[in-house]
Amino acid sequence: MAACCASGTLAAEAAQRPVPSRPRLKTPEQFRLIGRPTPRLDAAAKTDGSARFGIDVQQVGLLHAAVQFCPTRLGRVQACDEAPARARPRREGGAAAPTPEWRQRRHGRGGRQLWQARQAVEACRCNGITARWPLRQRHRARGLSTLLDQEEGFAFHREGDLDAALAGAARRIEAEYRAPWLAHSTLEPMNCTVQLAADGRSATVWAPTQVPGLARRAAAQVLGLDTDAVTVHVTLLGGGFGRRLDVDFVAQAAAVARAVPGRPVRTLWTREQDMRHDFYRPACVARFSAGLDATGQLVAWKNTSAGQAIVPQVLQRVFGLPGGGPDKTTSEGAFDQPYEWPAARIAHVNADLPLPVGFWRAVGHSHQAFFKECFLDEVAHAAGTDPLVLRESLLQQHPRELAVLQAAARAAGWGTPAAAAPDGAAVARGLALHRSFGSTVAQVAEVSLGPDRGIRVHRVVCAIDCGFAVNPAGVKQQMESGIVFGLSAALYGQVDIRNGQVQPGNFHEQPVLRLTDMPAIEVLVMPSHHSPEGVGEPGLPPLAPAVANAVFALTGQRLRSLPLKLA
């Protein structure tokens, strides 16, 4: 309270002073806080366990709700017998609460403890489940490749006369790359607590959401309230990565709480529900053609990808609006890079597939960087050129990006033999550069193979130019986070459809990176006086191609599909 009063007094005093016409700003040399490493304010609470996430919300009289999902992603529960659940002892509150049809769920059940609610909902006898789309992963890849045979797509970037450059090339290199659907796999499953007032005229929501305004709107629509009548408390997120940009779990929790006015109700998904009813990163296939002249110089670059568009789906399911025009997120990371192509065409073909997709960390950059940087290494190999030298040749008019690339290579010891792994296995290095969200990141990965030919990443050197680094410690932490998240996806991440059901369902089927598998990470933050840019996502895109390129240097085997697995 004292701090609040002091701030109010200061504001009142400042309001009486004249506004200077030419305020004198500090120079960077005069900064005392900006640009210096600063510990996170929430670090202590997250370390000692006192931090409160959505799953930790505890309100007086809290009821726990469990939800019955259709096991097939696009199926529908046609009938459900609730009698066994109603007959269970020690159950309190929570009548059946239908949820929006487009989410294909049936009922919420309430109880004093989550276990009671879960047992009650599982006792319901549901049948008549139909799977309307039992496609498998291999069908998806074949279908997207077929699209590339049939369509040229929308060109996001053109440079020079590509057809003439390809026709006149002394050598042509071609390849096709693939990336799967990916679940967000946040460590905290979807959850939300909602309390509808006893008189039904207002509501309070506690939610781990990335979009509190949309969460408020969703709850208000379900509860039949004006938006101003809903209060949203945003808790810490146990992982967002774009999953909590959608508000389906908030609308669902509001629908359940509507059945018990006056009582707070928390709806919590299981891990299997979370992974099988996600909005996935789109699967994508990219086809490349490159031309070299007689001296091995790159003269042509053609890149056409095919996959689902995210923005039209989000506009439809969140706002009920049709999405029109090209969605740049489909091709970002391919068309917006600093490389100076002599002649190029970079395009994307939209695929109309029924699996719901959403924003995933780094969005289109997450897979387009893998495609582009791996194929660039293929071009370097075909030209007999060092991968670093080829990239340097394509960045002559981009000094900032070139400096990032060279800094990472220099720090990693590029061009010198890598030290053997602790078990004596040979180690090779791979390189990747990518620009996203205003920042440029270069990474060098050092890789060996285990006795089972599994890929082991021992070290990652990362350099970033994000403009002026307001908090260098935070920048380094975000790079480390992106590398770990990206490595988990690169080695293990994949969503498949089997008999209409999404696989995997839990972490025993799709692991995340463990401490024993963590590489040593070195982060170089480039000095800069340019405006600050993004750091939450740019650390992820270069990781997969750097690892894949290292695997090729080590084994001679080119991995063109994610997740990365040797034959």
Contact assessment for residue 193 and residue 57, using Cβ atoms and an 8 Å cutoff: yes
Q: Write down the mean pLDDT value for the chain.
A: 91
Domains 54-130+190-268 and 137-183+280-555 share a fold: yes
Output b/e per residue, 104-123; b: 16+ Cβ within 10 A. bbbbbbbbeeeebbbbbbeb
What average pLDDT does this structure show over 161-173? Answer: 98
Residue 238 above 90 pLDDT? yes
Question: What's the predicted TM-score (pTM) here?
Answer: 0.92
Residue 485: in which H helix or E strand, if any?
Answer: helix 472-492
Pick the CATH number of 137-183+280-555 from 3.40.1190.10, 3.30.70.1140, 3.30.365.10, 3.30.9.10: 3.30.365.10
What whole-number distance in Å separates Cα of residue 230 and Cα of residue 254?
A: 11
> What digits encode the pLDDT tens for the residues 466-519?
999 999 999 999 999 999 999 999 999 999 988 778 999 999 999 999 999 999
Higher pLDDT, 388 or 132: 388
For the residues 201-220, what does the mean pLDDT come to?
98
pLDDT digits over 244-279, tens only? 999 999 999 999 999 999 999 999 999 999 999 999
Q: Domain limits of the chain?
A: 54-130+190-268, 137-183+280-555
Q: What angle is formed at CA 208 by the lines to CA 204 and CA 212, rounded to 5 degrees?
A: 60
The model's pLDDT over 99-108, given as tens digits with 9 standing for 90+, comes to 333 233 444 5
Q: What is the percent of the chain with per-residue pLDDT over 70, rounded to a whole number?
A: 92
Q: Both tokens of residue 476? A: 């380094």
Average pLDDT over residues 158-186: 98
Quick one: CATH architecture of 54-130+190-268? 2-Layer Sandwich (3.30)
Give the model confidence (pLDDT) of 382-407 as tens digits: 999 999 999 999 999 999 999 999 99
What is the band of 117 on the pLDDT scale with cuts at 50, 70, 90?
confident
**pLDDT at residue 89 is higher than 90:** no
Residues 283, 143 contacting (CB under 8 angstroms):
no
Is residue 349 classed exposed, middle or buried when 0-12, 13-18 and 19+ CB atoms within 10 A define those classes? Answer: buried
Q: Is the pLDDT score of 75 beyond 80?
A: no
Residue 97, pLDDT score: 39
Question: Which residue would you say has higher pLDDT here, 499 or 205?
Answer: 205
Return the pLDDT at 265. Answer: 96
Give one DSSP letter per residue of 3-71, joined into a string: HHHHHHHHHHHHHTSPPPSS--PPPGGG-SSTTS----TTHHHHHHT---BGGG---TT-EEEEEEEPS
pLDDT for 112: 63
pLDDT of 103 reads 35
User: What is the distance between the alpha carbons of residues 442 and 428, in angstroms, rounded to a whole number?
Assistant: 17
Measured in degrees and rounded to the nearest 5, phi and psi for residue 57 equal -60, 130
- 346-375: average pLDDT: 97
Q: 84-98, 171-185, 222-236 — which is least confidently predicted?
A: 84-98
Give 369's pLDDT tier (boundaries 50, 70, 90).
very high
Q: Answer whether residue 94 shows pLDDT above 50.
A: no
- Across the range 33-60, mean pLDDT stands at 95
Report the pLDDT averaged over residues 53-81: 86
**51: pLDDT strictly greater than 50:** yes
